[in-house]
Structures are given as structure tokens and as C-alpha cells.
Amino acid sequence: MRIDIITIFPEILQGPFSESIVKRAISKGLAEIYIHQLRDFTSDKHKKVDDYAFSGGAGMVMMIEPIAKAIDFLKSEREYDEIIYTSPDGDLLDQPMANKMSMYKNIIILCGHYKGIDERIREHYITKEISIGNYVLSGGELAAAVISDSLIRLIPGVIGDETSALSDSFQNGLVSPPVYTRPREFKGWKVPDILLSGNDKLIDEWKFEQSLIRTKQRRPDFDNK
């Protein structure tokens, strides 16, 4: 999978892709991430990419021309499955959406800033708008990192234990059961006996039951899905 991210703050995106699972996916050649500085696509001599909103009001708006040029350039190089704009009023990112998008070959993620982007970009270039939650961020970079991470970890071969990503919360409509590691006892707090029993069948049943209980208690909105 190839992800092209368009941003005016490329530095914000250095950290999330340089450690752990995403880093490994990139070094194995299973994912490619290219971060593009939007300012490289403006013909303005001061590299300006934002302007005052028509009709006034507080806050700047990202201009149409540099964004259009950046997307046109990328589209002239290859075909994209989706051109995504990160937006608080977009579709809420969830696991089924991540599963579907993890099968894509090429995507663009456009990060907004200030008051957002000129609406005409959304109308004429953007094919999907994604929100990572019902709150407002300062820019789309953190959302782009979250979206990319959620997709990349699902690409076959990225996570060592193939079943691991599938046993995560939400994959079967349930949240994960609790997990424990050594020591068996700490400050008198014990690991449930069943997990130490060595009986795989009973352990699997216990885990499933815990998932059901937790989903009911914590995420009733996911129950019976």
C-alpha cells in the first residue's frame, strides 16, 4: 500500500511512522508513505497557502490552487483508490472502514489546517472524508497518522503473528478480553487461575465469555453486531 500525505507540517508526521509496527511495515516494503509539503506546490513567491475567508469571519482558509496542483501532480503519476480529506464532519473511522481501506493500493490523505480548506476542493477532488472522533484537532496530521496506522497494521505480513490483528477489539464486534503477563502474583493481585490451567479449550471459552461481558458493560453499542 502506498499512502501520500499532503500537509503544511510534515515534521508532525515524522514520529508516528518511525517506530514500531509501521516502521517495520515500511522497511519490509509492505507500506510506502510519502509526505508532501503543500508549500512546494504554490506559485506564490512567499509560499503562502492560506487566505482570508470570503465574507470575513475569524480564521484563515487553505487555498484551492496549491492543493489542486498537489493532487493533480500525484494523480498524473498513478491511480488512487481514494482521495481522503481529514475532517471533523467526515465519516467516523471505525474497524470495518479500516479493514476495507487496508486492501487499497494507493491513497492520498490531505491534512487541513486553520478553518479548513476551500470547499471546492472537497466538492471536486475529495472522494472520502474521515473524522477520527467528535472533537476538533488543530490540523489533520494526527488524524492522518491514526488512519495510516489503522490500515497498515492490517496488511498481511505486517504483524508477525498473523492472527493477532484479527483478535483485536472490534474485529468480531466484541472488545478484547483482559490480558496478563508475569508475575503470577503482584501485591497479592493474582492472575485468573484459568489462564494458568493449560486447558486451551476452557481458556478460549473464558476469553470469549470475558469479551461478551466487557462488550455489554463497556461498549453496549457494539453488542450483537
CA distance 181 to 69: 52
Helix residue spans in 78-196 (DSSP H): 95-101, 119-124, 141-152
Residue 68 Cβ vs ligand SAH, minimum distance, rounded to whole Å: 16
What x-and-dash track marks residues 97-126 binding ligand SAH by CB under 6 A? --------------xxx-xx----------
Q: Which stretch binds ligand SAH (CB under 6 A): 14-22, 95-103, 138-146, 149-157?
A: 138-146
Total of residues contacting ligand SAH (CB under 6 A): 18
Query: What is the number of other CB atoms lying within 10 angstroms of the CB of residue 113?
Result: 21
**Which of 97, 137, 155, 212 forms a contact with ligand SAH (CB under 6 A)?**
137
Residue with cell 469571519: 57
Residue 121 Cβ vs ligand SAH, minimum distance, rounded to whole Å: 11
- Does residue 86 bind ligand SAH (CB under 6 A)? yes
Choose between 93 and 159: whose C-beta lies nearer to ligand SAH: 93
**Which of 95, 99, 131, 171 forms a contact with ligand SAH (CB under 6 A)?**
131
Judged by DSSP in three states, 36 sits in strand
Exposure pattern of 15-34 as b/e (b: 16+ CB <10 Å)? ebbeeeebebbbeeeebebe
Dihedrals φ, ψ of 26, to 5°?
Answer: -70, -45
Give kind and range of the element (H or E) at residue 109: strand 106-110
**Which of 88, 121, 126, 215 forms a contact with ligand SAH (CB under 6 A)?**
88
Judged by DSSP in three states, 206 sits in helix
- Does residue 16 bind ligand SAH (CB under 6 A)? no
- Does residue 192 bind ligand SAH (CB under 6 A)? no
Dihedrals φ, ψ of 169, to 5°?
Answer: -50, 150
Choose between 138 and 164: whose C-beta lies nearer to ligand SAH: 138
Q: Which stretch binds ligand SAH (CB under 6 A): 71-79, 83-91, 98-106, 183-191?
A: 83-91
Judge contact between 65 and 73, C-beta under 8 A. no
**Which of 74, 132, 151, 152 forms a contact with ligand SAH (CB under 6 A)?**
132
Which residues of the chain form contacts with ligand SAH (CB under 6 A)? Answer: 86-89, 111-113, 115-116, 131-133, 135-137, 139-140, 143
